[in-house]
Amino acid sequence: MGHTDMTYTRKNVLELGGDWADPILWYARGVKAMKARALNEPTGWRFFGAIHGIDQGLWQQLGYLSSSDPMPSSADIATYWNQCQHGSWFFLPWHRGYLLALEAVVRDAVVKLGGPADWALPYWNYFKPNENQLPPAFASADWPDGSGDNPLYVPQRYGPNNDGNVNVPMDQVNLTALGDPDFTGDANGGSPGFGGVDTGFSHNGQVHGGIETQPHDQVHVSVGGGDPESGLPGLMSDPDTAGLDPIFWLHHANIDRLWEVWRQNPSTDMDPSDPNWINGPPAVGDPAFTMPMPGGVSWTYTPGDLSDLSKLNYIYDDVSPPAGTPQLAARLQRLGVNMATAAAPVRSTAMAGPKTVELLGANTQSLRVTGTAASTSLTLDTAVQRKVTTSLQSAAAAAQPAPDRIFLNLENVRGANDATAFNVYINVPEGDDPAKHPELKAGTIALFGVRKATVADAQHAGDGLTFVLEITHVIDTLHLAGALNVSQLHVRLVPLNPVPEAAQISIGRISVFRQST
Ligand SMILES: [Cu+2]
């Protein structure tokens, strides 16, 4: 990044002093300027959307591409398009660079229009009380003076109920990932880490990381939803169209902010020190991350360049830990540990490796999800189950202050429609309404990226996506209720909206793993 003495402050979009406060109004003007540029201009709005991902058929169907659009050179397409990193430990740093580039391009347009030189991208913190509705400037088709053509407005946002009311339901998102002590995980059934699993360049990788699964994926699908008439996803629901929606950038600024919140938590570890992360994909012979910048300049970056916010030229106005961040100390207390006499400090035990990951149980055949419910049973391995119980009991005896963590894996999730999400419950008694059992809720999964991951192409085998939910809290609850010593766990999926047959959603296997700490 070019050096500048200026520090830019990213602020909460709903606390700027008005629906159309200056930073929002200037964002709209900057977006309008970018939207006026042709498809082949690297600082254009659609070019930036295609950097995240482009499916030409989908863009045409949604009205974002026509045969008269000038395509960029094949060199530009190869360098810039279809870069977004998902299912990867590059998820956070790649998107940080993507935001910095977009912010620089918008700011350049803002300054040329006579706007403030310190303009910065606002963020949308849907977790704050009463801030989970789409910010009003994005929901109105009009500019504040009543004239139409508000560039922040997108008709293809259907919301969580596909009725056009766009918000993030608080019972569908969580901050469990903020309590994960490790940035990196393995794709082995245990924690995928706060930041994701070790990969090379990973456009649409298979195993989604902690913060990526929740809240990131879910917010995409809550906002985007799907068109109940055409069956097409909203722009935000599919990685090949998400970057076209101006709210994308405020959502990702919030995810980027949560990375800094995680880093400042004394109970969590550091960003990876592995040179394959620090140096990015070129360390393993893969393409570098490259963004267009204002003035025809191109910027190549590595994760190591971007991990430390204090070395960059922007800050967030608030990186305090949000309510709902899981605390290991609170878990130990629930399990009966006397914290006054607990031997080892929480931080060091949480990060002591190496970890053992073992299969605790799985179902035996793939599960098709249609309509309003699906369920399956997981047969448990008695020996592994005994280890879990022993670990939870000895935690209470303070002999081992960091008990096992448990992870539910939805493996090889395949399908044709990303605007699909479901709640996952464990051991809800037969005949009971799952909604009445929040203590048995594993979490909510949104299938952001599933369509692409289901199609076999040059880079992918079409194996679908794998989502990992930490269900430690549910297992603790069952243990404390004396209900863990069973031969099977029952998993119930409750789609947020009925899943049509045409979505072709299937889950290859559902499994549960224990991970020692
Ligand atoms: Cu995203």
331-348 tens-digit pLDDT: 888 888 777 666 554 444
* pLDDT at residue 4, as a whole number: 60
pLDDT > 80? residue 351:
no
* pLDDT at residue 347, as a whole number: 43
> Of how many residues is the chain composed?
517
Region 22-29 average pLDDT: 98
CA 492 / ligand 1 centre spacing (Å): 27
CA 479 / ligand 1 centre spacing (Å): 36
* pLDDT at residue 337, as a whole number: 79
pLDDT > 70? residue 161:
yes
End-to-end CA distance of the chain: 39
pLDDT > 70? residue 40:
yes
* pLDDT at residue 346, as a whole number: 46
Q: What is the dihedral of CA 453, 456, 458, 463, to 10 degrees?
A: 50
pLDDT > 80? residue 274:
yes
* pLDDT at residue 51, as a whole number: 98
CA 104 / ligand 1 centre spacing (Å): 19
CA 32 / ligand 1 centre spacing (Å): 22
Region 174-203 average pLDDT: 92
* Angstrom distances, CA of residue 64 to CA of 23, 42, 60, 326, 409: 26, 16, 6, 41, 36
- Cα angle vertex 248, ends 246, 249, to 5°? 80
CA 148 / ligand 1 centre spacing (Å): 28
Surface-to-core class of residue 461, CB atoms within 10 Å of its CB (0-12 exposed, 13-18 middle, 19+ buried): exposed
Rounded to an integer, what distance in angstroms lies between the CA atom of residue 207 and that of residue 209? 6
Cis peptide, bond prior to residue 326, ω within 30 of zero: no
* pLDDT at residue 341, as a whole number: 64
Rounded to an integer, what distance in angstroms lies between the CA atom of residue 426 and that of residue 170? 20
Q: pLDDT of 444-489, one tens digit each?
A: 999 999 998 898 876 667 889 999 999 999 999 999 999 988 899 9
Most confident segment among 215-224, 354-363, 445-454: 215-224
CA 448 / ligand 1 centre spacing (Å): 9
CA 220 / ligand 1 centre spacing (Å): 7
pLDDT > 60? residue 497:
yes
Rounded to an integer, what distance in angstroms lies between the CA atom of residue 225 and that of residue 233? 6
CA 207 / ligand 1 centre spacing (Å): 15
- Best CA proximity match to 238, nearest among 29, 455, 510: 455
pTM value? 0.94
pLDDT > 60? residue 422:
yes
Average pLDDT, the chain: 92
Region 404-410 average pLDDT: 95
